[in-house]
Amino acid sequence: MTFEELALHPALLKAIAESGYSAPTPIQAQAIPEVLTGRDLMASAQTGTGKTAAFVLPALQRLQGPSAPSAGKSRGPRMLVLTPTRELAQQVTDAASRYGRHARFRTGAVVGGMPYPPQNRLLSQPLDILVATPGRLLDHMKCGRVDFSRLEILVLDEADRMLDMGFIHAVEQIAAATPASRQTLLFSATLEGNIAALAKRLLKNPKRIEITPPQTRHEHIDQRLHHADDAAHKHRLLAHHLADAGLGKAIVFTATKRGADRLAKTLHAQGHAAAALHGNMNQNARNRTIAGLRGGAVRLLVATDVAARGIDVSGITHIINFDLPRTAADYVHRIGRTGRAGHAGIAISFATPDDFQQVREIERFTGHAIPSHVIPGLEPSRAPRRQAPREQSGRPRRFGGNDRGRGFSRKGPARPSNG
């Protein structure tokens, strides 16, 4: 299938071609036609599948309809995208600007951690597309700065993460302030449980699309588990892996903000180009850190789950779970930041005896055991309570699937995904 077959506007097709993309991903091929009909949609899609373009492209087309952008006296947005993090909000804003470059759309973002005055000025002007984090948008709404009277499309991006972060009430308050005639699009890693309940309250007879199977595989990612006695043992294992000549850029995940700061300072003192990323940092500091990772000034990003959500950086060769994630779904999100666009990646997890249950939950969720690895000289003092799966053909077993890291199909060399 091609984008031309999706009946997209020539201006959008031109922007897509200029970005180097030739064919839609599965989520785009299924979601775009549904969104163009004006129907509500709930879709299961992970980061790295091209989901951002799956709602941005058809929404831009709908906004190019009979009423011209920014028509009328209302200064409020015609499309609102809610995201759980500032980084994801920036990613969506960039995508809307990139694909709408040949139309006169006005796009802006209001997110936490940034000064209010520029956002106040943005909201006082005519606006077509507004991207926001729920908490900051609700602050502006309480001050009477937001007019939703002409809103046509509401998008809840990574709705599961917004619920995990405690934004459910803010999301519902915001939705209640928008016209009942709006089109609502919900994207989430899962469509069950609380997400299904939220969709029932906010969406009208939605089309349901599920691209990612319940047990996600990562065939381009070599997953490894190291058993560690304690934190000091984990530090020795980390030092061993950081000496790997094949390591390009890596994200090292910790359980807490304080842990991220401590580990980043330790690594920096050891001569590594390391920096922390967590929710206590202001937006300018976060932007500098992410820019450093993209540009190569930062080689090791030490991050928490929430802070790293929505980061789209190419060239991540290693994911290291210094601390195991809180949930099995977070494990899948973490390791999915490597092995993208057909490139190989390595995901390394450290587990102490206290982490045994978490390892089992991850393995149940993914449907596969994580192969155990032992480094000579860094063996755990006691044998783990699980057996490592057999390796086939003398090579580490790799898990993955469906080319999840691929965004658009592209003419020429592979390119990081857009969503």
CB 45 within 8 A of CB 54: yes
Phi then psi for 134, rounded to 5 degrees? -60, -45
Mean pLDDT of 138-155: 95
CB 368 within 8 A of CB 225: no
Position 382 scores a pLDDT of 78
User: CA–CA separation, 145 vs 138, rounded Å?
Assistant: 10
DSSP code at position 206:
-
pLDDT(68) > 60: no
Find the range with the poorest average confidence among 79-83, 114-118, 360-364.
360-364
Position 385 scores a pLDDT of 60
Position 16 scores a pLDDT of 92
pLDDT top residue among 91 and 349: 349
* pLDDT tier, 383 (very low <50, low <70, confident <90, very high otherwise): low
Position 217 scores a pLDDT of 59
Mean pLDDT of 363-383: 87
Provide the 10 A C-beta neighbour count for residue 39. Answer: 16
* pLDDT tier, 358 (very low <50, low <70, confident <90, very high otherwise): confident
Q: pLDDT, tens digit, for every residue of 151-173?
A: 999 999 999 889 888 899 999 99
Provide the 10 A C-beta neighbour count for residue 414. Answer: 15
SS3 call for 261 = helix
Position 308 scores a pLDDT of 78
CB 87 within 8 A of CB 310: yes
Find the range with the poorest average confidence among 32-36, 319-323, 339-343, 360-364.
339-343
Mean pLDDT of 373-380: 93
SS3 call for 201 = helix
Find the range with the poorest average confidence among 163-167, 274-278, 319-323.
163-167
User: CA–CA separation, 18 vs 129, rounded Å?
Assistant: 22
Tokens of 126: 């005519």
Position 340 scores a pLDDT of 78
pLDDT(75) > 90: no
pTM greater than the 0.85 cutoff: no
Half-sphere exposure of residue 401, counting CA atoms within 13 Å on the CB side? Answer: 12
Mean pLDDT of 121-142: 95
SS3 call for 223 = strand
Position 312 scores a pLDDT of 75
Position 191 scores a pLDDT of 86
Tokens of 69: 């952008």
Helices 10-18 and 86-99: crossing angle, nearest 10°?
120
Q: pLDDT, tens digit, for every residue of 396-412?
A: 333 333 333 334 434 44
Position 410 scores a pLDDT of 40
Position 165 scores a pLDDT of 85
> Would strands 345-351 and 249-253 be described as parallel, antiparallel, or unpaired?
unpaired
User: CA–CA separation, 325 vs 368, rounded Å?
Assistant: 17
* Domains along the sequence of the chain with CATH: 4-210 (3.40.50.300), 218-403 (3.40.50.300)
Find the range with the poorest average confidence among 194-198, 236-240, 402-406.
402-406
* Residue for token pair 């005639």: 181
Q: pLDDT, tens digit, for every residue of 332-354?
A: 889 988 887 778 899 999 999 99
Strand partners, 44: 188, 210
Q: pLDDT, tens digit, for every residue of 36-49?
A: 999 999 998 766 67
**Residues of the chain above pLDDT 70, percent:** 86
pLDDT(374) > 80: yes
Half-sphere exposure of residue 200, counting CA atoms within 13 Å on the CB side? Answer: 7
* pLDDT tier, 394 (very low <50, low <70, confident <90, very high otherwise): very low
Find the range with the poorest average confidence among 15-24, 147-156, 204-213, 407-416.
407-416
Position 66 scores a pLDDT of 53
Give the list of residues 6+ apart from residue 288 with CB closer than 8 angstroms, or none.
none
